[in-house]
Amino acid sequence: MTTAYPAHRPRRLRQSAAVRRLVAETRLHPAELVLPAFVREGIEAPVAVSAMPGVLQHTVPSLVELARECVAAGLGGLMIFGVPEDKDEQGSGADAADGILNVALRAVREEVGDELVVMADLCLDEFTSHGHCGVLDEEGRVDNDATLERYEAMALAQAAAGAHVLGLSGMMDGQVGAVRRVLDAHGHDDVILLAYAAKYTSGLYGPFREAVASSLVGDRATYQQDPANAREALREIELDLSEGADIVMVKPAGPHLDIVADAARVSTVPVAAYQISGEYSQLVAAAERGWIDRERAMLESLLSIRRAGARIILTYFALEAAAVLPR
CATH number of the domain residue 153 falls in: 3.20.20.70
Sign (positive/negative) of CA torsion 249, 253, 258, 261?
A: positive
pLDDT of residue 1: 56
Burial degree of 122 (CB within 10 A; 0-12, 13-18, 19+): buried
3-state SS assignment for residue 206: helix
Residue 152 domain flag: yes
Q: What is the pLDDT of residues 72-102, one digit of tens each?
A: 999 999 999 999 999 999 999 999 999 999 9
Residue 182 domain flag: yes
Residue 140 domain flag: yes
Q: Is 325 a residue whose pLDDT tops 60?
A: yes
What is the residue-averaged pLDDT of the chain?
96
Rounded Cα–Cα distance for residues 116 and 209 (Å): 26
Residue 10 domain flag: no
Residue 327 domain flag: no
Which string of b and e fits 12-28 if b means at least 16 CB within 10 Å? Answer: eeeeeeeeeeeeeeeeb
Residue 136 domain flag: yes
Cα Rg of the chain (Å, integer): 21
Instruction: Cite the active site residues.
Output: 199, 251
Domain range for 112 is 27-322
Q: What is the pLDDT of residues 126-144, one digit of tens each?
A: 999 998 999 999 998 999 9
Q: Is 3 a residue whose pLDDT tops 80?
A: no
Q: What is the pLDDT of residues 113-125, one digit of tens each?
A: 999 999 999 999 9
Which of 76, 162, 62 has the alpha carbon at shortest distance from 115? 76
| Domain total of the chain | 1
Higher pLDDT among residues 95 and 7, named by residue:
95
Contact 9, 51 (CB under 8 A): no
pLDDT of residue 2: 63
Q: Is 66 a residue whose pLDDT tops 90?
A: yes
